[in-house]
Structure 1
Amino acid sequence: MENATVISGDKATVMVTNDDGIEGPGLLALVHVLVSTHRFNVLVCAPDSYSAVSHCITWLHPIAAKKVHIDGATAYAVSGSPADCASLGVSKTLFPTIPDLVISGINKGSNCGYHIVYSGTVAGAREAFFNGVPAISISYDWVGGKSNINDFTIAAEACLPIINGVLVELRNKTYPQRCFLNVDLPCNGYKLTKQGKSIIKMGWRQVTSDSEGGKMLSTMVNSIASAEIATSTTPAENLYFAREVRGAQVDEDDNDHRFLQEGYITVTPLGVISNAEIDCQTYLKEWLPTVVERPSPSAL
C-alpha cells in the first residue's frame, strides 16, 4: 500500500485515536508525552465513548465532532467508533493535513492473540492503514490491584523509540508499506513477535434484568478472575442474557501473549489480509476437486 503522507518540515504530524474514549487515561498520557517532547504536531480524533467494538463503522447516519481542549494538541471528540475516528482524521475533512503517523491507544488491557479481532484499538490503526497512512496500535497489560494510572505515562515513554524509529524510516522512505504495528506493554525490553491464538472463552447466562453485569474494561483479559461481564440491553419484555468467562485458551507458541506474560514489550506486525494456515491450504487443495466432482444432492 502506497504511503499517502510525506513528512516535511521540522515536526512530524501524529494523530492519536483510541478505543476507551477521548477522556481515557491511556490516550491522555500518550498525548502528554508526545507533546512534551516538542517533536510532533499532535492531533487527536477519538471517540466520545466505545470499547471493544472491533472494526465497526458508522454508515447510515452522520457522526458529530466536537472540539475539546487537550493541552498542546488539536483535539476532537467524535460520536463514532475508533475506525470512524481514524478514517475521519486522515481524510483532510476534519484536519487540513494528512498525519504522517496514526497511533491508536493506549488501551487499558492488552490486545494479543485472537483478541486482536475484537479490538477497537487495533481497528483504529488498521483503518488508518486501509487509507495508506502508517499506524501503530498500543495497549497496556493492565492488572487490577497492581497497575496504576502512572503506568500509562511510563508505557508512552517506552514507545517513543518505536514511534521515532518509524518516523525516521518514513522520512527516509525505507519503511515497509504492507503492515502496521501492534504493540503491547509492560516495560521490560522489546520483542518482535507474531500474533498468537490465545483467547478468553466466553459464554452466556440468563439474568433477570439488564442491570446485572458490567462493561468489559479490557479487550484482552489475561486473568480469568479479573474479567468482567458485558451485558446486552434489551426491552423489558424480552429475555436478558449476560456474557461470562468460561475458561481460557493459552497459546504457548513463540507469540505475542507468551512474551507479554514474560514482561516484554511485544511488537507484532499485522496485515489487513489474514491468510489461512499452510496445513489448511494443503488439505483444501486436495479436498476441493473431490467435492466439485461429486454430483449435487439435488441430482441424486
Structure 2
Amino acid sequence: MEGEKIGTILITNDDGIDAPGLRALVQSLVSTDLFNIQVCAPDSEKSAVSQSITWLQPVAVKQVNMDGTTAFAVSGTPADCASLGVSKALFPTVPDLVVSGINMGSNCGYHIVYSGTVAGAREAFFNDVPSISISYNWIKGKSNLNDFTLAAQVCLPIISSVLVEAKNPSYPRKCFLNVDVPNDVANHKGYKLTKQGKSIIKMGWRQVTSETEGQKMSSDMTNTDAEIPKNFDPSSISPEHLLFAREVRGSVVDDDDDTDYRRLLEGYITVTPLAAVSNAEVDCQDYFKNWLQSVPELSSSSCL
C-alpha cells in the first residue's frame, strides 16, 4: 500500500535512461515495494559531463514507460535532470532521496570531478535533498549485465538506511555519499568508509586523420576499446581542421590505504562522504597566508 512506503526516491544517471545500471537499480527498488520511485534521467549518454547544466535553451522532456515508476527522459545533463526532478516543476513533491546510477565504471579519486553520475547526486545536495551516487567497477571481459542487479541489491541497505536516517535532525547535511561497488560484487568484503583519493587515469592526445581512428572512452574514462560513436560525421569537418583523440597513458593510485580506489580494488563497497567543493589542504592554506602578506611588498619592488 502507498501509505506503507517509507519514502520517495528520485533516480537519475549519466549513462542514459535506457542504461542497464539504471534499469537494474529501478527494478530492484520497485521489487521491494518499499518506495515510491520517480525517474528523471538523460535521454542519451552524458558521461563525463561533470556539473554542466543547460543554460541558453530549454530542455525537452518526454514521459517513458517504466514499470512501477513515473519516468521521464530529458535532453539535458545529469545535473539538469536532478535539478528538474527535485524542483516540483515535473513531479508534484520533492523526493526524500536522490540516487544517481548505477554507473558503468568506477568513480573514485580525481575522476569524481569529471563524473556526471556524481554530479547528479551533487546537484540534489545543492538543493538540500539527501543523495547518493552509485558506480559499479565494470571491467570488460569480466563483468556482465547481471552484475548491475547484484550491485543494486548490495546497495539497498545503504539506500534504505539513508532514507530513514535523513529524517533525523542529526543526519549530516553538509555532505552526500559516493558509493563504488567492486567488480567481483558477489564476493565483496563488505562496506568500508573511505575518503576521496587522488587516483587518476593519465590521458594524453594523439592526432588522427579521421574519427574512425579515435575511440570512445567508457563511463569511467579508462576503457579505450569500446565501439566508435556513430553520431559524428567526418564530412562536417573542414580539411583545414586538425583532429585529436584522447588516449590512456598510465595511471596513478594512492598510497594511502583509506582512499576510495585502493579499497575498491581490495574488494570493498566503498562509501565516501563528499562535499560540494574540496577545500585546499592545510599546508596550502598556510603557504598562501604568508605569501599573501608579502604580495604588496613584492609588487612594489617588481615595479622598480
Same fold? TM cut 0.5: yes
Q: What residue is the counterpart of 2:252 in the other structure?
A: 249
Q: Secondary structure at the match of 1:16?
A: strand
**Does 1:259 find its partner at 2:268?**
no
What per-residue deviation string (whole Å, max 9, x for no partner) do you get for residues 185-234 of structure 1? 0232000000000000111111001232232222253xxxx445899987
Give the 5 Å matches for 1:214-233.
Answer: 214-219=215-220, 221=222, 226-228=223-225
**1:203 corresponds to 2:204:** yes
Matched position secondary structure for 2:14 = coil
Superposition pairs of residues 10-49 of structure 1, within 5 angstroms: 10-49=5-44
**Could you tell me which amino acid in structure 2 is paired with residue 193 of structure 1?**
T
2:215, 2:245 within 8 Å by CA — same for their partners in 1? no
Which sections of structure 1, spanning at least 5 residues, go unmatched?
A: 1-7
1:110 to 98, 106, 109: 106
| Counterpart position of 1:70 | 66
The one-letter amino acid paired with 2:149 is T
Tell me the distance in 2 between the aligned counterparts of 1:160 and 1:135: 14
Which among 137, 162, 166 is matched to residue 162 of structure 2?
166
Tell me whether 1:176 sits opposite 2:150 in the alignment. no
Displacement of 1:247 in angstroms is 1.4
Aligned-partner residue type, residue 81 of structure 2: C
d(CA) in 2 for partners of 1:290, 1:133: 43
Q: Tell me how far apart the structure 2 counterparts of residues 273 and 18 of structure 1 sit (CA, whole Å).
A: 20
Letter paired with 1:171: K
Answer whether contact 1:111 1:220 (CA < 8 A) is retained. no
- Residue 173 (structure 1) shift: 3.1
Q: Secondary structure at the match of 2:299?
A: coil
Identity rate, percent: 67
Looking at structure 1, the residues matched to 162 and 180 of structure 2 have their Cα atoms a distance apart, in angstroms, of 16
Query: What are the Cα deviations for residues 229-272 of structure 1, in whole angstroms up to 9, with x where unaligned?
Result: 89998723211100011111111212001000000000000001
Please say if 1:141 is aligned against 2:137.
Answer: yes
Once residues 124 and 4 of structure 2 are traced to their aligned partners in structure 1, the CA distance between those partners, rounded to angstroms, is 22
TM-score scaled by length of structure 2: 0.91
Q: Secondary structure at the match of 2:65?
A: strand
Please state whether the residue corresponding to 1:291 is helix, strand or coil: helix
How many equivalent residue pairs?
289
> Would the aligned equivalents of 2:199 and 2:254 in 1 still touch at CA under 8 Å?
yes
Residues 298 and 281 of structure 1: CA distance in aligned 2, closer, same or farther (over 3 Å)? closer
Separation in 2 of the partners of 1:295 and 1:158? 58
Task: List, as ranges, runs of 4+ consecutive aligned residues in structure 1 with deviation greater than 6 Å.
Answer: 229-234
Q: From the superposition, tell whether residues 203 and 297 of structure 1 become closer, same or farther in structure 2 (CA, over 3 Å).
A: farther
Q: Deviations over 1:25-79 (max 9, x none)?
A: 0000000000000000000000011111111100001100000011101000000
Unaligned runs of 5+ in 2: none
Distance 1:74 1:297, change over 3 A: farther
Give 2:213's aligned residue: 212
CA distance, structure 2, for counterparts of residue 297 and residue 200 of structure 1: 43
